Structure 1
Amino acid sequence: MESLHISFQNVVLEGLFKGVLVNSSLNLSHLFYADDVIFMGQWSESNINTIIQALDCFHKASGLRMNLHKSKIMGIVVDVEIVVRAANKMGCSSLKTPFSYLCIKVGGSMSRKDSWNDIVDNLRSRLSKWKMKTLSIGGRLTLIKSVLGSTPIYYMSMFKVPSQILKCLEDIRRKFFHGVDTKENKMSWVKWGRVLASKEKGGLGILSFFALNRALLLKWVWRFRNNKDTLWSRFISAMYGNIGRIEKPSKVGDNSAWLSIVYEFHKLQNLDIDLLSFMEKRVGNGVDTAFWEDQWLRVDAGC
């Protein structure tokens, strides 16, 4: 992979491959992750020929050959017939949106409920493997904390979950905790909100999906503020601007999802204690979070 990176970097610098010009200082041409590579550029015959030649040079230099049967090519606002002809020329298949990459959906609208059906069904399928009525309430509580609470974390760390989906996921956990089948509707003797409360407030300390989703998303905003020189931070700045100049988005969709998250984080700075400044003081100076000392901190969020 290192040989391919060096070879393709030289090809880009020599101007043989034209990437995507985001702004005057940022030009995206290729990304590498583990043993995966993504080429991004203008749709042209010369770019396609350049990729074919770069892969051939990589094969001759390293003795390794790319598996084109697992490779795909996709065109943005390009006729399907043109994409198919390019795929046949390269010996790979064509790709359409939405698709999955690293188990994450790309190109779909995650603000729609239908996009979360797989996650909801996956959570329900786990319940079918356990005889919940034969488990004690302590056993069900352990499974909720260790398994059911961690199943949707991967998606929650990337997308803002619709409120109806959060309610559905919490309803699944609530019925499992009370030993009720997901298709049944029975009265609960304890409010689920009381169960989600901390043990100090009389609850069982189960983490709320709403709080979990917001916390995981705010992690990216914090990294955006503290890693401004990274490629993804520069890309976000070029596409959506900086946090300091944020305004409330007019609509929520794929193109404004990040903007909506940043806006919500921006509102947190109205707290009596500036959360962002606190995090920057503790970690911005190179302090490893693993060596933090436990301490009490009173935050009045007005709730």
Structure 2
Amino acid sequence: MKSLHLSFSRVVDAGMFKGIRLSNSLSLSHLFYADDALIIGEWSNDNLRSIINVIKCFHLVSGLQINIHKSQLLGVGVPRVDVETAASSIGCSIMNDQFCYLGVMVGENMSRHKAWADVVLKLRSRLSKWKSKTLSIGGRLTLLKSVLGVSPLYCMSIFKAPRGILKEMESIRNNFFIGADSLDKKITWVAWNNVLASKKNGGLGVSSFYALNRAMLLKWVWRFVSEDGSLWSRVIQAVYGSHIGSHSVHMASTWSSIMREVQLLKSKGFDFMSLCSKRVGDGSNTRFWLDVWKGDSPFCDVFPRIFALEQDKQMTVANKMAAHVSASFRRPVRGGIEQQQLSDLVTCMDSVSLNSMIGGCSISGDGSLQLKENS
């Protein structure tokens, strides 16, 4: 797969294959994971021919051949006739607008209950192989935590599950815990909320699906703030912008639904973003102007007049600290507000020192514990 990746990269660099350009610096052409290959590009006959030629050359060199009959072609915004003609010439089948990639549904509206039908069915299918009445309460609790508790986590780590779905899955776990069948009515001796409570609060320490879903979605925000330079982070920046505070929550997208959770928590008095602090480290992974790494706001907002003079808006802290602050300005700083902001910035930078650690992101205080309990 590494060789196939290098082959596609060289074809893209040579201009023989045009990927999807998201920004001036980011273009998507292919995604590889294990033995799965996803090729993304503009719809054109030249692109289709380039794909076939690269696959053929890869087969001749390595002896490995992609099964065309198991491959599928998807045209977004392309007439059905053109897709059928292209698929027939290649010898592959046509992919539906909603498809499964690496176990996750793509193109499906995950805010609808029917989109989670397979997840709920998988949870129920686990119970069909067990006889809950023959198990002790300790055995049911162990299976509840180790199997039923983690079964739907893969989808819940990416999509916001509807409240009705979460309630249904909690009901399935509750019935299994008390040893009741799906059609039986049995007395519940312990409230399910007490079962979900932590052990130090008198509960059994079973994780709530609602809390897990929200916590795993917020973890993507934490990863984005950490600015690890990964591909998905650069895609989010290209689509929504580099400053997370300006990301839209009104779009019908997965990232917007995650940002809505952040806004919802903030409206209830829990500011998740205030707990995320940037670790500068050696400054190589932190942007000087655009990241919040010193103070409560990025320097582009605190010092807007001298930020307008900056030639490299994406400059890192390490590169900025290597020379004088004004070395990369397009012209000398003038008097008045510009001079005052420069003086304030220089004074602010006097207390900054870098170390050899790699930068990242951390959650300050007891935010993670408070998030779990409040959820």
TM bin, normalised by shorter chain, reads: 0.7 to 0.9
Report the number of matched residues. Answer: 293
CA contact (8 A) 2:73 2:93 kept: yes
In 1, Cα distance between equivalents of 2:103 and 2:36? 14
TM-superposition CA deviations, 1:155-208 (whole Å, max 9, x none): 111211111100000000111111111233444232211111011111111000
Match of 1:260 in 2: 257
Code of the residue aligned with 2:259 in structure 1: it is V
State the Cα RMSD in Å.
2.9
Code of the residue aligned with 2:233 in structure 1: it is S
In 2, Cα distance between equivalents of 1:116 and 1:212? 16
TM-superposition CA deviations, 1:200-227 (whole Å, max 9, x none): 1111110000111112222222111213
* Structure 1 pair 28–175 and aligned structure 2 pair: CA distance change class (3 A): same
CA contact (8 A) 2:194 2:202 kept: yes
In 2, Cα distance between equivalents of 1:287 and 1:206? 34
Give the C-alpha shift of residue 37 in structure 1.
Answer: 1.8
2:89 equivalent to 1:106: no
* Structure 1 pair 233–131 and aligned structure 2 pair: CA distance change class (3 A): same
Matches within 5 A, 1:27-38: 27-38=27-38
In 2, Cα distance between equivalents of 1:24 and 1:228? 20
Match of 1:159 in 2: 159
TM-superposition CA deviations, 1:121-162 (whole Å, max 9, x none): 111111121111121211111110111101111111121111
CA contact (8 A) 2:160 2:257 kept: no
* Structure 1 pair 15–25 and aligned structure 2 pair: CA distance change class (3 A): same
TM-superposition CA deviations, 1:67-106 (whole Å, max 9, x none): 1122111100112221121111112111112111111111
Give the C-alpha shift of residue 249 in structure 1.
Answer: 2.3
In 1, Cα distance between equivalents of 2:55 and 2:233? 29
Matches within 5 A, 1:122-201: 122-201=122-201
Q: Secondary structure in 1 aligned to 2:55?
A: helix
Match of 1:62 in 2: 62
CA contact (8 A) 2:18 2:47 kept: yes
Q: Secondary structure in 2 aligned to 1:205?
A: coil
CA contact (8 A) 2:249 2:256 kept: yes
In 2, Cα distance between equivalents of 1:112 and 1:300? 29
Match of 1:292 in 2: none
Match of 1:219 in 2: 219
* Structure 1 pair 270–281 and aligned structure 2 pair: CA distance change class (3 A): farther
Comparing 25-34 with 167-176, which one deviates more in the overlay? 25-34
CA contact (8 A) 2:240 2:248 kept: no
CA contact (8 A) 1:11 1:17 kept: yes
Comparing 1-10 with 263-272, which one deviates more in the overlay? 263-272
* Structure 1 pair 6–259 and aligned structure 2 pair: CA distance change class (3 A): same
Query: TM-score under structure 1 normalisation?
Result: 0.87
Code of the residue aligned with 1:175 in structure 2: it is N
Give the C-alpha shift of residue 264 in structure 1.
Answer: 2.7
* Structure 1 pair 160–280 and aligned structure 2 pair: CA distance change class (3 A): farther
Could you list the runs of 5+ residues in structure 2 that have no partner in the other structure? Answer: 286-356
Q: Secondary structure in 1 aligned to 2:27?
A: strand
CA contact (8 A) 1:243 1:262 kept: no
* Structure 1 pair 243–190 and aligned structure 2 pair: CA distance change class (3 A): farther
Match of 1:249 in 2: 249
* Structure 1 pair 13–272 and aligned structure 2 pair: CA distance change class (3 A): closer
Query: TM-score under structure 2 normalisation?
Result: 0.71
Match of 1:83 in 2: 83
Q: Secondary structure in 2 aligned to 1:23?
A: coil
Comparing 159-168 with 24-33, which one deviates more in the overlay? 24-33
Q: What is the percent sequence identity of the aligned residues?
A: 49
Give the C-alpha shift of residue 9 in structure 1.
Answer: 1.3
Give the C-alpha shift of residue 2 in structure 1.
Answer: 2.6
Match of 2:117 in 1: 117
Code of the residue aligned with 1:104 in structure 2: it is V
Q: Secondary structure in 2 aligned to 1:15?
A: coil
In 2, Cα distance between equivalents of 1:146 and 1:63? 42
CA contact (8 A) 2:279 2:360 kept: no
CA contact (8 A) 1:272 1:300 kept: no
Give the C-alpha shift of residue 10 in structure 1.
Answer: 1.4
TM-superposition CA deviations, 1:30-73 (whole Å, max 9, x none): 12212222111111111111111111221222232221122111
